């Protein structure tokens, strides 16, 4: 059995590959567009250096030989996602060649890493087709492997290793790792196009291996073909939508000259999490693995950790605690909220959703002591806003928790205090 992959990775650049349109994810279709990324006749591409820098970083991480002078080709095909009828990509002039990824008991050779443009998004409706060009021209790298993978387990391991290698250099493919799988159990190669996500890729391979081995067992030969994967019944279906690779026409791209990558350095926002963790762990006497786990899959967390340890003046253990809270509460934990969060941590208060909400409102842990009268007033307000509460309470005293939570949250009063006062008030109401 032989499995090879063509993995597509979107590069975290600010603008598209050949024009200055933004790569930001926007809901409104066809807003980040211009004549270049829509392929208008006469429009000329100009290469985004940031994309080349990131692609070079990836090629380095996958142990590729770097092509010092890269060039582009036109891959000609006719399909509505590319109105200019060709995709700008790379072949011999690819940025990275002959790399390898080491697995626990084998190696996967990387044939090449090429830079290319994403086509438009095609949305099929019952009676018509829609096109969204926001995606058109987004820079991708395609990572092409040799067919070195020989089992489902190796495929899974390769995808996980690739994912973490890319994560460590700041390229997040968790949500949308996209790949074509080439699987051959006999002489003919079957290609499964456009499978998204690690789980689906492994499932698709498992299904396809089973399908081909059944054909072989019954004396047949699997046909050379292109199939697509359907995750619902977990099966692959024969598809002949686009031509096979051999049928594409390639010509060189006359609008882009050869580009030298020799002087290009890693862009500032692409940072190796392993390096950062090692440096910070050593300097602040912290555990390397803990730091790596906190920042590996999150560039925001990485810069917060740096800020916390180097600039905030907070003790290192408090910063690490805050980063742990960030893992759970995401964006709510940031440079701005860090000092307040640190107050809570230093007072030994457990960080839960309530605390995060208080922090978001800028409420310090040592309550600006809310008086008993004010607390009573807030409780009474809440009770009159919920006239059915008393009846509910008579049937089930446990509903008091909800009321305590609501008042505590709204006004930043500790739950215990609200619970004390509410009991007094309810006793009066129930007299």
Residue nearer to Zn ion on the CB measure, 23 or 114: 23
d(CA 354, CA 412) in angstroms, rounded, equals 9
386 CB burial (10 A radius; 0-12, 13-18, 19+): middle
Residue nearer to Zn ion on the CB measure, 36 or 47: 36
Query: Token pair of 159, please?
Result: 């995808």
Contact 278, 287 (CB under 8 A): no
| Listed residue (312, 354, 349) closest to 334, CA to CA | 312
State the nearest-atom distance from the C-beta of 171 to Zn ion, in Å. 22
State the nearest-atom distance from the C-beta of 178 to Zn ion, in Å. 22
Residue nearer to Zn ion on the CB measure, 118 or 208: 118
Report CA Rg, the chain: 28
d(CA 281, CA 293) in angstroms, rounded, equals 12
Residue nearer to Zn ion on the CB measure, 45 or 267: 45
d(CA 244, CA 26) in angstroms, rounded, equals 33
Residue nearer to Zn ion on the CB measure, 22 or 234: 22
SS3 at position 344: helix
Residue nearer to Zn ion on the CB measure, 33 or 276: 33
Write the interaction track for Zn ion spanning residues 9-38; mark x where CB under 5 A is met and - where it is not: ----------x-x------------x-xx-
Residue nearer to Zn ion on the CB measure, 21 or 181: 21
Query: Token pair of 370, please?
Result: 């809310």
| Listed residue (95, 88, 75) closest to 36, CA to CA | 88
State the nearest-atom distance from the C-beta of 328 to Zn ion, in Å. 38
State the nearest-atom distance from the C-beta of 131 to Zn ion, in Å. 14
Return phi, psi of residue 229, to 5°. -100, 135
Query: Token pair of 175, please?
Result: 């949500």
Establish if 47 lies at the interface with Zn ion (CB under 5 A).
Answer: no
- Kindly report the CA angle at 173 between 239 and 272, in degrees rounded to 5? 150
d(CA 366, CA 340) in angstroms, rounded, equals 11
Binding site for Zn ion (CB under 5 A): 19, 21, 34, 36-37
């Amino acid at each position: 059995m032989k499995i090879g992959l063509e993995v597509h990775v979107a590069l975290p650049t600010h603008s598209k590959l050949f024009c200055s349109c933004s790569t930001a994810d926007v809901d409104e279709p066809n807003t980040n567009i211009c004549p270049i990324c829509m392929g208008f006749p006469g429009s000329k591409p100009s290469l985004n250096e940031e994309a080349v820098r990131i692609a070079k970083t990836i090629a380095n991480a996958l142990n590729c030989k770097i092509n010092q002078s890269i060039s582009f080709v036109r891959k000609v095909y006719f399909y509505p996602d590319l109105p200019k009828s060709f995709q700008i990509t790379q072949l011999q002039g690819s940025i990275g060649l002959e790399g390898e990824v080491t697995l626990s008991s084998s190696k996967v050779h990387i044939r090449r890493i090429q830079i290319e443009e994403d086509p438009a998004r095609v949305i099929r409706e019952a009676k018509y087709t829609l096109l969204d060009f926001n995606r058109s021209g987004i820079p991708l790298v395609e990572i092409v492997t040799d067919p070195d993978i020989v089992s489902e387990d190796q495929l899974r391991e390769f995808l996980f290793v690739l994912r973490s290698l890319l994560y460590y250099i700041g390229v997040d493919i968790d949500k949308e790792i996209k790949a074509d799988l080439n699987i051959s159990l006999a002489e003919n190669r079957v290609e499964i196009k456009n499978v998204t996500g690690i789980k689906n890729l492994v499932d698709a391979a498992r299904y396809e291996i089973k399908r081909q081995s059944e054909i072989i067992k019954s004396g047949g030969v699997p046909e050379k073909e292109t199939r697509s994967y359907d995750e619902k019944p977990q099966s692959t279906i024969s598809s002949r939508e686009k031509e096979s690779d051999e049928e594409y026409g390639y010509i060189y791209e006359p609008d882009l000259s050869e580009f030298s990558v020799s002087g290009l350095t890693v862009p500032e926002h692409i940072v190796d999490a392993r390096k950062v963790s090692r440096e910070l762990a050593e300097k602040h006497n912290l555990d390397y693995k803990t730091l790596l786990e906190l920042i590996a899959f999150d560039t925001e967390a990485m810069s917060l950790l740096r800020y916390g340890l180097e600039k905030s003046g907070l003790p290192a253990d408090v910063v690490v605690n805050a980063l742990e809270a960030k893992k759970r509460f995401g964006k709510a934990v940031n440079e701005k909220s860090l000092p307040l969060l640190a107050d809570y941590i230093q007072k030994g208060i457990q960080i839960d959703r309530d605390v995060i909400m208080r922090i978001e409102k800028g409420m310090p842990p040592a309550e600006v002591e809310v008086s008993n009268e004010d607390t009573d007033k807030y409780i009474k307000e809440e009770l009159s806003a919920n006239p059915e509460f008393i009846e509910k309470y008579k049937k089930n005293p446990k509903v008091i928790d909800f009321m305590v939570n609501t008042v505590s949250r709204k006004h930043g009063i500790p739950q215990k205090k609200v619970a004390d006062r509410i009991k007094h008030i309810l006793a009066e109401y129930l007299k």
